[in-house]
């Protein structure tokens, strides 16, 4: 088990459940939290910035970093779309004395929680329904029909993992989800 100064706050959910919005809200509300920027090999979306949303790298570069054991966790979330948390990113934030907040899929979330135990709070964001998810992915306008179908298929499996998390936040309304998430994170960070 790795010894940590900064605690880990992990937000996981199926794609489109609203976890990114919740994470952004918490970053504004809790100044001791810093966002862990993941590395990924997918194409940059409109409005995204390298080094802010992700470190955008090629599949080749990603595979090299896997070989070099530079990742705390990584995953091929979709075919040729690799995502991972660099050990150096955790170290960078820890050195500043900040707590770390992660936005990742459920497999990555469960993996990190196993590694960090009591130093980590793993939160699952539950969408009100699969139909809601599909609607949200459609309204994003960055997804193709194929990528929507792929993400929905994955979501159905992901919903079954909710019981492996420390806390489940139902995102039936953002206001409700914001309040519940903020309460859980603040309580966790206040603990010795």
- Count of residues in the chain: 192
Nearer to ligand 5GP, 105 or 180 (CB): 105
Q: C-beta of 70: minimal distance to ligand 5GP in Å?
A: 12
Which tokens hold the place of 184? 């859980």
For the beta carbon of residue 68, count every other beta carbon within 10 angstroms: 8
Q: Are 58 and 40 in contact (CB under 8 A)?
A: no
DSSP 8-state assignment for residue 117: G
Nearer to ligand 5GP, 4 or 56 (CB): 56
Q: C-beta of 104: minimal distance to ligand 5GP in Å?
A: 4
Helix/strand/coil (H, E, C) string of 66-94? Answer: HHCCCEEEEEEEECCEEEEEEHHHHHHHH
Q: C-beta of 133: minimal distance to ligand 5GP in Å?
A: 12
Chain residues in the site for ligand 5GP (CB under 6 A): 15, 38, 42, 73, 75, 77, 83-85, 103-105, 107-108
Q: C-beta of 105: minimal distance to ligand 5GP in Å?
A: 4
Give the separation between CA 133 and CA 179, rounded to whole angstroms: 21
Nearer to ligand 5GP, 46 or 191 (CB): 46
Nearer to ligand 5GP, 107 or 159 (CB): 107
């Amino acid at each position: 088990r790795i010894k940590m100064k900064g605690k880990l706050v992990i937000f996981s959910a199926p794609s489109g459940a609203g976890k990114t919005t919740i994470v952004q809200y918490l970053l504004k509300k809790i100044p001791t939290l810093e966002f862990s920027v993941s590395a990924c090999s997918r194409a940059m979306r409109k409005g995204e910035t390298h080094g802010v949303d992700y470190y955008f790298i090629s599949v080749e570069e990603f595979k090299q970093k896997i070989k070099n054991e530079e990742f705390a966790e990584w995953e091929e979330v979709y075919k040729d779309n690799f995502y991972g948390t660099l050990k150096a990113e955790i170290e960078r934030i820890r050195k500043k004395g900040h707590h770390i907040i992660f936005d990742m899929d459920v497999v990555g979330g469960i993996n990190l929680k196993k590694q960090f135990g009591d130093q980590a709070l793993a939160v699952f964001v539950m969408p009100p329904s699969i139909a809601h998810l599909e609607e949200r992915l459609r309204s994003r306008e960055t997804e193709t029909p194929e990528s929507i179908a792929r993400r929905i298929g994955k979501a159905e499996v992901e919903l079954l993992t909710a019981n492996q998390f420390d806390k489940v936040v139902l995102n039936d309304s953002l206001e409700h989800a914001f309040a519940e998430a903020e309460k859980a994170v603040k309580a966790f960070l206040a603990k010795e």
